[in-house]
């Protein structure tokens, strides 16, 4: 019987047949996929013909179609709907996949063919895109250790296999801590909480089979609890549990895992001839060097810290007026910031939230994409991996562009955070294929589901990533969509957040859940005026995390990462009442894999550009200026990694921005 994962998918738009796939199908499917991929690689490497772009680079691009099927399905469900079996499979798959891909990158015969082409690149009459793919392929082999020999080569394979296993363990430990902890709330404990928080807590209690409402470690629940609960003792208990994820001792403790990961990364970089892992990692990014990253972060840190220190003084006074003595603590900040926001801007999130319905915000994101890029979204009735998921066909001028899947609600089987991934990326070789793109979020369920303003911004952010995937128009999958420099990949997502703040968008789509009435003009103006509220806090918690990440990787790996974290935070003067956005034991961006390692700064690097890029619209005909929209699609959203990121931005804007646009955008300096 044919494994349903590896069969020909006859579903609409060849979406994975989730209703026919069981967990027992994954392991045999992966074994078959690895066997098939190895045969393809061996055929390329042993080809007796003179290396050509077609028989080597394009052959590599075409290889691994079964592997793509298996991994796209498995990692989708492993991240968004995990269970004990899938966690076990992930632990088994990590070293197996690391060994497989290491075997490809260390295949000397294969690398020799790529190196031969690279040496003759001027003679090959390649298109610009083909030349780019050749360069990236050659660079990828070299950076993976293909040029290493003997013991160094063997050690590199060991390091990559071990890192893969450690990353999986880090992720699963974090998920376990997030899934297993909750704090039961009595009816008295619910006093003072807005109705939407109470509803979310009761829903969470039902999911946990608890007797009543609970607070979990889902950001969509714990953050509003910290904002609104007048019970300081409960806020402290919840905050301490939230920040202790991955550092609770026992089997799920991530501290020793983080230390080993940092040591192995340093060893890997040294084997490849780099002074540090940061030097290795940043070589391919826009920033290029650790010093440039640190310079950017410190330019932002100083004004952000000044703002945060001033805000802390104000809120300490507010706390003392409430009869609470002692210093402002981290579990107090969000509570008093919310009270201050209500007082200074007369903006009450409990009153605002009914206007931010999930369904209406999805419509808003779609509407902006329609006005900017002509995209249309039609609901699809197809089998998906969880009942919460929804799907839409994306078309333009009647032509199929993509399938978009949204998975929006928090649940115990889903890892925290929000992300965008492509189950299938756009390509024209070896066949034309339209992308299938997923946005995964962790919003609180409700009837209807209501979002905070930050939730709505997250929805727009992830949809910006989705547009980068959906509007991609390149030949080769390896440079499709978001396959760009890490410190450039956040530009489309962060740029798209700006459309949430366009007054006409909120006027149309921010409608009350009960009455259906549009958000009052007065409230709309308050929302926009308060957009930069508490930016000292938000900037400090983010930049501190980015600086710690950089410090971990720039130089010798610390023997004790937790001690290094404490040392760095003391050195930069981290305010007492603000914690890192992601402390080391739960810093999944950095330790779950290599994507954001030594690269967490990239959100800030991209924000320098996104503030300037949106200004280009405002300087032209406004937020929906058609000429600027075409330029954005033609030079950034459709081009993937076909050219250097700096070149793409220059083509769109004509110049590179300075940090001033970011500081003004965050309200940290005068506009």
Return the half-sphere exposure (C-beta side, CA atoms, 13 A cut-off) of residue 161.
13
The C-alpha angle 353, 355, 360, rounded to 5 degrees, equals 115
C-beta neighbour count of 555 within 10 angstroms:
15
Residue-level pLDDT at 437 = 98
Q: Is the pLDDT of residue 670 over 70?
A: yes
Query: How many whole angstroms separate alpha carbon 49 and alpha carbon 39?
Result: 17
Tell me whether the omega of the peptide bond preceding residue 628 falls within 30 degrees of 0, making it cis. Answer: no
The C-alpha angle 497, 422, 87, rounded to 5 degrees, equals 110
Q: Is the pLDDT of residue 665 over 90?
A: no
pLDDT-derived band at 404, boundaries 50, 70, 90: very high
Whole-number average pLDDT of the chain: 96
Q: What are phi and psi of 402, to 5 degrees?
A: -170, 170
Distance spanning both ends of the chain, measured CA to CA: 66
Closest CA to 552 of 504, 601, 511, 514: 601
Query: How many whole angstroms separate alpha carbon 74 and alpha carbon 86?
Result: 8
Strands (E), 397-502: 399-409, 419-424, 436-443
Any residues with CB less than 8 A from the CB of 213 and at least 6 apart, and which? 184, 185, 189, 190, 198, 201, 202, 204, 205
Catalytic residue status for 462: yes
Strand partners, 111: none
In the three-class reduction of DSSP (H, G, I as helix; E, B as strand; rest coil), residue 50 is classed as coil
Closest CA to 56 of 112, 139, 96, 18: 112
Q: What are phi and psi of 588, to 5 degrees?
A: -65, -35
In angstroms, what CA-CA distances link 6 with 10, 367, 428? 12, 37, 21
In the three-class reduction of DSSP (H, G, I as helix; E, B as strand; rest coil), residue 212 is classed as coil
CA 215 centroid distance within chain? 24
Any residues with CB less than 8 A from the CB of 207 and at least 6 apart, and which? 411, 412
The H or E element containing residue 411 is: none
Q: Is the pLDDT of residue 671 over 70?
A: no
Strands (E), 352-503: 376-380, 390-396, 399-409, 419-424, 436-443
- Catalytic residue, from 61, 285, 393, 462: name it: 462
Strands (E), 358-498: 376-380, 390-396, 399-409, 419-424, 436-443
CB 575 within 8 A of CB 613: no
The C-alpha angle 68, 70, 71, rounded to 5 degrees, equals 65
Query: How many whole angstroms separate alpha carbon 337 and alpha carbon 344?
Result: 10
Q: Which of 237-251, 399-413, 650-664 has the lowest mean pLDDT?
A: 650-664
Which structural domains are found in the chain, ordered by start?
A: 12-147 (1.20.1050.40), 181-245 (no CATH), 354-520 (1.10.1370.40)
Q: Is the pLDDT of residue 11 over 90?
A: yes
Q: pLDDT of 209-248, one tens digit each?
A: 999 999 999 999 999 999 999 999 999 999 999 999 999 9
Q: pLDDT of 296-349, one tens digit each?
A: 999 999 999 999 999 999 999 999 999 999 999 999 999 999 999 999 999 888
C-beta neighbour count of 662 within 10 angstroms:
24
In angstroms, what CA-CA distances link 31 with 97, 105, 166? 10, 19, 22
Residue-level pLDDT at 377 = 98
Cβ-in-10-Å burial (0-12, 13-18, 19+) of 1 comes to: exposed
- In percent, the amount of the chain with pLDDT more than 90 equals 95
Q: Is the pLDDT of residue 1 over 80?
A: no
pTM of the model: 0.94
Please report how the helices 290-321 and 602-619 are oriented relative to each other, as an axis angle in degrees rounded to 10: 90
Q: What are phi and psi of 378, to 5 degrees?
A: -120, 125
CB 28 within 8 A of CB 1: no
Tokens of 668: 């940290």
Q: pLDDT of 441-478, one tens digit each?
A: 999 998 899 999 999 999 999 999 999 999 999 999 99
Any residues with CB less than 8 A from the CB of 626 and at least 6 apart, and which? none
Closest CA to 333 of 422, 408, 269, 243: 243
- In percent, the amount of the chain with pLDDT more than 70 equals 100
């Amino acid at each position: 019987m044919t494994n349903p994962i590896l069969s020909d998918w006859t579903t609409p738009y060849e979406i994975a047949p989730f209703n026919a796939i069981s967990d027992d199908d994954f392991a045999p499917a992966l074994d078959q996929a690895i066997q098939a991929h190895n045969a393809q690689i061996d055929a390329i490497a042993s080809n007796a013909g003179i290396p050509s772009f077609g028989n080597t680079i394009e052959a590599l691009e075409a290889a691994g179609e079964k592997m793509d099927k298996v991994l796209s399905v498995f990692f989708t469900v492993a991240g968004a709907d995990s269970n004990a079996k899938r966690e076990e499979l992930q632990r088994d798959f990590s070293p197996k996949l690391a060994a497989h891909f290491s075997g490809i990158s260390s295949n000397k015969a294969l690398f020799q063919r790529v190196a031969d082409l690279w040496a003759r690149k001027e003679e090959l009459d390649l298109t610009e895109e083909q030349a780019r793919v050749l360069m990236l392929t050659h660079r990828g082999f070299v950076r993976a250790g293909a040029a290493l020999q003997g013991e160094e080569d063997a050690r590199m394979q060991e390091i990559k296999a071990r890192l893969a296993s450690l990353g999986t363990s880090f992720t699963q430990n974090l998920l376990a801590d997030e899934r297993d902890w909750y704090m039961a709330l009595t009816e008295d404990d619910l006093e003072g909480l807005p109705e939407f928080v109470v509803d979310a807590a009761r829903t969470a209690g039902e999911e946990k089979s608890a007797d009543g409402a609970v607070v979990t470690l889902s950001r969509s629940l714990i953050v509003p609890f910290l904002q609104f609960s007048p019970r300081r003792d409960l806020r402290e208990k919840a905050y301490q549990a939230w920040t202790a994820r991955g550092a609770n001792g026992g089997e799920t403790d991530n501290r020793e895992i983080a230390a080993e990961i940092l040591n192995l990364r340093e060893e890997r970089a040294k084997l490849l001839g780099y002074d540090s892992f940061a030097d290795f990692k940043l070589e391919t990014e826009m920033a290029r060097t650790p010093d440039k990253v640190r310079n950017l972060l410190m330019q932002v840190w100083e004004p952000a810290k000044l703002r945060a220190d001033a805000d802390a003084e104000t809120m300490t006074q507010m706390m003392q007026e409430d009869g609470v003595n002692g210093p402002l603590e981290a579990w107090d900040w969000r509570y008093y910031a919310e009270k201050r926001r209500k007082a200074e801007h007369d903006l009450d999130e409990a009153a605002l939230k009914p206007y931010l319905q999930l369904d209406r915000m999805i419509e808003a994101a779609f509407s902006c994409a329609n006005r900017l890029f002509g995209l249309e979204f039609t609901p699809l009735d197809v089998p998906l991996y969880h009942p919460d998921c929804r799907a839409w066909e994306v078309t333009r001028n009647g032509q199929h562009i993509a399938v978009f899947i949204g998975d929006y609600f928090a649940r115990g089987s889903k890892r925290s955070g929000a992300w965008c991934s492509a189950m299938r990326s756009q390509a024209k070789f070896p066949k034309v294929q339209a992308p299938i793109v997923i946005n995964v979020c962790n919003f609180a369920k409700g009837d209807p589901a209501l979002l905070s303003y930050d939730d709505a911004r997250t929805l727009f952010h992830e949809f910006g990533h989705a547009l980068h995937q959906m509007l991609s128009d390149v030949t080769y999958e390896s440079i499709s969509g978001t396959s760009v420099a890490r410190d450039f990949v956040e530009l489309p997502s962060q740029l798209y957040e700006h459309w949430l703040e366009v007054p006409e968008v909120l006027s149309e789509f921010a409608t009350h859940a009960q009455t259906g009435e549009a958000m009052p003009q007065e409230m709309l103006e308050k929302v926009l005026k308060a957009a930069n509220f508490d930016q000292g806090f938000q900037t400090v918690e983010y930049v501190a995390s980015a600086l710690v990440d950089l410090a971990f990787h720039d130089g010798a790996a610390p023997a004790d990462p937790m001690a290094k974290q404490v040392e760095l935070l003391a050195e930069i003067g981290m305010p007492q009442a603000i914690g890192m956005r992601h402390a080391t034991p739960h810093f999944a961006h950095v330790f779950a894999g290599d994507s954001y390692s030594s690269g967490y700064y990239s959100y800030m690097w991209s924000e320098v550009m996104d503030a300037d890029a949106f200004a280009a619209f405002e300087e032209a005909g406004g937020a929906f200026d058609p000429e600027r929209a075409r330029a954005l699609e033609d030079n950034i959203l459709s081009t993937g990694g076909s050219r250097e990121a700096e070149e793409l931005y220059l083509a769109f804007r004509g110049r590179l921005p300075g940090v001033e646009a970011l500081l003004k955008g965050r309200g940290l300096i005068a506009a």
